[in-house]
Structure 1
Amino acid sequence: MAKAPLLEFSAARDQILQHAKHHTIPNSESVNLHLALNRIVAKPIMSPINVPSFDNSAMDGYVIREKDVKENTTLPIAGSIFAGHNGDIQWPKNTCLRIMTGAPVPNDAYAVIMQEDVKIADQQMSFDGHNVKAGQNIRRIGENITINTEIFSTGEKLTIPKLSTLAALGLNEVCVFKALKVAIFSTGDELTPIGEPLLSANSIYDSNRYTINLMLNALGCEVIDLGIIKDDLLSITQTLKQAADLADIVITSGGVSVGDADYTKKALEQIGEINFWKIAMKPGKPFAFGKIGHAFFCGLPGNPVSSLITFYQLVRPLILALYQQHTPSQQFTLKTISHLKKSIGRIDFQRGYLHRDHDGQLVVSSTGDQGSHITSSFNHANCFIILEKDRDNVKAGEYVTVEPFDSCLL
């Protein structure tokens, strides 16, 4: 019997996103601004005020009226306006006022001349009117943000600069999605928890679960870590049921290949559904996607690089879609300065280093051995080099598709 063809990578990701589109989104909650870093906006945030809320000076200088702008003008300094000034501003005609950064400007102000552009002598200010333009160095009301306008949309991630903006608006709380609950566990008799002595000479450390945990945290998820489960069909089946009861997404590492001891797929066939497994991608062919009850299931390969790449390229888009984040990956074409080994048949995600050459041109180079067990290929990488499935070996100087890492990997 002929083997079933591998599912194309683009078709696999499209299927995942279609399922996410029809899935109930997480509930929302209001949280204090201090606790909102990296949380996802659940409903549009509108500005309650204008920013600035009043016309003010952009720098230390001198405020003048329009009729006093002449080729060479000398005006008496009638007083000073400081930041935080309240009350009326006394400003006699044919004079100027010393003004500080952030101080309110009078209603009839024409411009603020920065202090470096004037001469001061005997309490008088002289300036060249040719260089003065209307409104210069004046920050107008609502110039930055207008009241009742949308500041951030549903699905936006609240970064430090965005939270700073909300603080400037005086907002103390923000409505965000409740964190997606993601249950994770690894399978394999050969696995040892990190920080403990290796179980035997043939054991390896369970680095995948640690890495997945970090990436889930970066994506704003609540992680339910169920540890390492031995290669036993009953244990894996019970753990999958437990995970599905606790979480919105269940992620496993290992056990979705075709070996006799790969029980995860067998367990899933008994208690859930498999939409697909095995994708025409490298690394990461043995990836499974399905559901257990209400929870999505993502079965990652056991090889560390394969696990990381399938998470980034397939699980990460699922999580972003459930949070209503619309952040398509940025891809562009660049010249590679490295020879890249490639076999025809599967799309290949190689690790690359994006940088500028001696001529200042943006180029990409390989980070070395691209084997699915060579985790060091990520150590100095900042992008994926994506080679199409029908492409063969790539010579230095040829053009390739490059996808820079986002904050999930940086």
Structure 2
Amino acid sequence: MSTWSQAGPRTVSEHAAAVAALLPPTGTEPVALAAASGRVLAEDLTAGVALPPFDNSAMDGYAVRAAELAGASAAAPVELPVAADVPAGRTDVPALAPGTVARIMTGAPVPEGADAIVPVEQTDARPGGGLDRVRIHEAPQPGAFVRRAGEDAAAGAVVLRAGTVLAAPQIGLAAAVGRAELPVRRRPHVLVLSTGSELVAPGGTLAPGQIYESNGTMLAVAVREAGATAEQLSFVPDDVERFRAVLAERVGDGVDLVLTSGGVSAGAYEVVKDAMTGHGVEFGKVAMQPGGPQGCGRLELGGTGVATVTLPGNPVSSQVSFEVFVRPALRAAAGHPAPARPVVTARLSGALSSPAGRRQFRRGLLDAAAGTVSEVGSTGSHLIAALARADCLIDLPADATSVADGEQVAVWLLDAP
């Protein structure tokens, strides 16, 4: 008998802490920018070049010396010769001689000697066209429409902090400072395994007493959505020796977590429990519904210990348990700054009852505009269709036996990171 079972049910928080402790922070690996979306930056990123790297034009127009255009107006335009063309990408930009202007494009380097840009709309030139001379009918201020070198970021400055979750803007910034790849936290790798002699792969033919296997696919997708990688093993029959053999063949370097569903209750054919008891994994109850039967520990197989979490087999129990225990642990191990689902409060639409001493996670639909949440389906842990319609979990405290219509409740948002 395990010490957990002897001690009685764990609270949700206690079991969440036990699962999290199994998954230490992952290491670092370099990835190309195109593959960095959703990853967590492992080290501070410094700018290899200033942003912008040189003074450049914010407009199509003319690079000028502002003092030479003092008093220019529509009634009294100033006419000057156009000494050069400066398109974006030109590397041999000549200095601007006094008494001249240079036609310039957006993003092009500002010539030495120029201190302002006059937009083409403030001249008699046509956009895209050129003149040997140009009449300017507005007086610019020094610095007008000039993007100064380093005004966005100085060379050597930290532009992204370690722990940043990378998305398009951050990856664009990394490219802008010259980085072709980034050091990111490695994704945890999870081995997902479902058990049960009654299970048949989707698409097969069901015999009497059989059901299609859904937990493995559901959990593998959930693992990937959490930012980890998943390898789904074909379910094995309710056979302890075969189950151990399958694990021993696969578990080794590169597997951070073994995640199973089914076979953890108090029945006569609980293969997961029978195979792992005495081998580093403890089983017991968590004071929650759905998902009371749970297990976790470091499974010892041939001298190798691997983090293992065992979830109940009913689909709703399995998925809710993943949300409560496994998902935040995986995200924390990968360095996510906010591993838990966002939680909001909403007014309950319709009264709910709850068993004393068990924290309940009810499937719900949130009406954000009205600030209300309603239950989807009922408490049955087999009602996967109701789970599929839900966009949140209604979190009812363990000491609540009833919640009145209109009462405020905590709501976990399932459609948010």
Give the TM bin, normalised by the shorter chain. Answer: 0.7 to 0.9
Paired residue type of 1:299: T
Whether the 8 Å contact between 1:6 and 1:278 is mirrored in structure 2 is yes
CA–CA distance in structure 1, aligned partners of residues 141 and 403 of structure 2: 57
Listed as ranges, the matches of 1:336-351 within 5 Å are 336=347, 338-339=349-350, 341-343=352-354, 344-351=356-363
Measure how far apart 1:212 and its partner are: 1.4
Measure how far apart 1:223 and its partner are: 2.8
Corresponding position of 1:120: 124
Say which SS state the counterpart of residue 260 (structure 1) adopts.
coil
Aligned-residue CA RMSD (Å): 3.3
**Pair 101,378 (structure 1): closer, same or farther in 2 beyond 3 Å:** farther
Query: Any gaps of 5 or more consecutive residues in structure 2?
Result: 126-132
Corresponding position of 2:91: 86
Measure how far apart 1:185 and its partner are: 0.9
Listed as ranges, the matches of 1:1-12 within 5 Å are 5-12=8-15
Measure how far apart 1:63 and its partner are: 4.6
1:319 aligns with 2:330: yes
Say which SS state the counterpart of residue 292 (structure 1) adopts.
strand
Greater shift in the superposed pair: 76-85 or 297-306: 76-85
Measure how far apart 1:169 and its partner are: 2.7
Please give the TM-score of this superposition, normalised by the length of structure 1.
0.82
CA–CA distance in structure 1, aligned partners of residues 376 and 35 of structure 2: 40
Corresponding position of 1:267: 275
Listed as ranges, the matches of 1:35-54 within 5 Å are 35-54=35-54
CA–CA distance in structure 1, aligned partners of residues 80 and 264 of structure 2: 80
Measure how far apart 1:84 and its partner are: 1.3
Greater shift in the superposed pair: 298-307 or 41-50: 41-50
- Of 379, 391, 394, the match for 2:400: 391
Whether the 8 Å contact between 1:77 and 1:97 is mirrored in structure 2 is no
**Pair 242,149 (structure 1): closer, same or farther in 2 beyond 3 Å:** farther
CA–CA distance in structure 1, aligned partners of residues 322 and 404 of structure 2: 29
CA deviation profile, 1:13-33 (whole Å, cap 9, x unmatched): 22333443xx4x444433433
1:281 aligns with 2:288: yes
- Count of aligned positions: 394
Whether the 8 Å contact between 1:184 and 1:224 is mirrored in structure 2 is yes
- Of 191, 197, 201, the match for 1:189: 197
Query: How high is the sequence identity, in percent, across the aligned residues?
Result: 31
Whether the 8 Å contact between 1:277 and 1:289 is mirrored in structure 2 is no
**Pair 102,263 (structure 1): closer, same or farther in 2 beyond 3 Å:** same
**Pair 134,12 (structure 1): closer, same or farther in 2 beyond 3 Å:** farther
**Pair 172,98 (structure 1): closer, same or farther in 2 beyond 3 Å:** same
Corresponding position of 2:307: 296
Corresponding position of 1:103: 108
Measure how far apart 1:110 and its partner are: 4.9
Say which SS state the counterpart of residue 278 (structure 2) adopts.
helix
CA–CA distance in structure 1, aligned partners of residues 378 and 94 of structure 2: 70
CA–CA distance in structure 2, aligned partners of residues 364 and 95 of structure 1: 67
Paired residue type of 1:9: V
Paired residue type of 2:136: M
Corresponding position of 1:227: 234
Measure how far apart 1:262 and its partner are: 1.6
Rg: which structure is higher? 2
CA–CA distance in structure 2, aligned partners of residues 282 and 298 of structure 1: 18
Whether the 8 Å contact between 1:305 and 1:374 is mirrored in structure 2 is yes
Please give the TM-score of this superposition, normalised by the length of structure 2.
0.81
CA deviation profile, 1:155-176 (whole Å, cap 9, x unmatched): 4444344333323333223333
Whether the 8 Å contact between 2:58 and 2:147 is mirrored in structure 1 is yes
Corresponding position of 1:139: 147
**Pair 144,221 (structure 1): closer, same or farther in 2 beyond 3 Å:** same
Say which SS state the counterpart of residue 326 (structure 1) adopts.
coil
CA–CA distance in structure 2, aligned partners of residues 136 and 391 of structure 1: 65
Measure how far apart 1:304 and its partner are: 1.4
Whether the 8 Å contact between 1:241 and 1:292 is mirrored in structure 2 is no
Measure how far apart 1:314 and its partner are: 1.1
CA–CA distance in structure 2, aligned partners of residues 378 and 244 of structure 1: 31
Measure how far apart 1:61 and its partner are: 4.2
Paired residue type of 1:345: G
1:374 aligns with 2:374: no
CA–CA distance in structure 2, aligned partners of residues 87 and 136 of structure 1: 23
CA–CA distance in structure 1, aligned partners of residues 191 and 105 of structure 2: 56
1:202 aligns with 2:209: yes
Corresponding position of 2:59: 59
CA–CA distance in structure 2, aligned partners of residues 17 and 178 of structure 1: 17
CA–CA distance in structure 2, aligned partners of residues 261 and 177 of structure 1: 40
Query: Any gaps of 5 or more consecutive residues in structure 1?
Result: none
CA–CA distance in structure 2, aligned partners of residues 178 and 356 of structure 1: 35
Paired residue type of 1:295: V
Whether the 8 Å contact between 2:315 and 2:382 is mirrored in structure 1 is yes
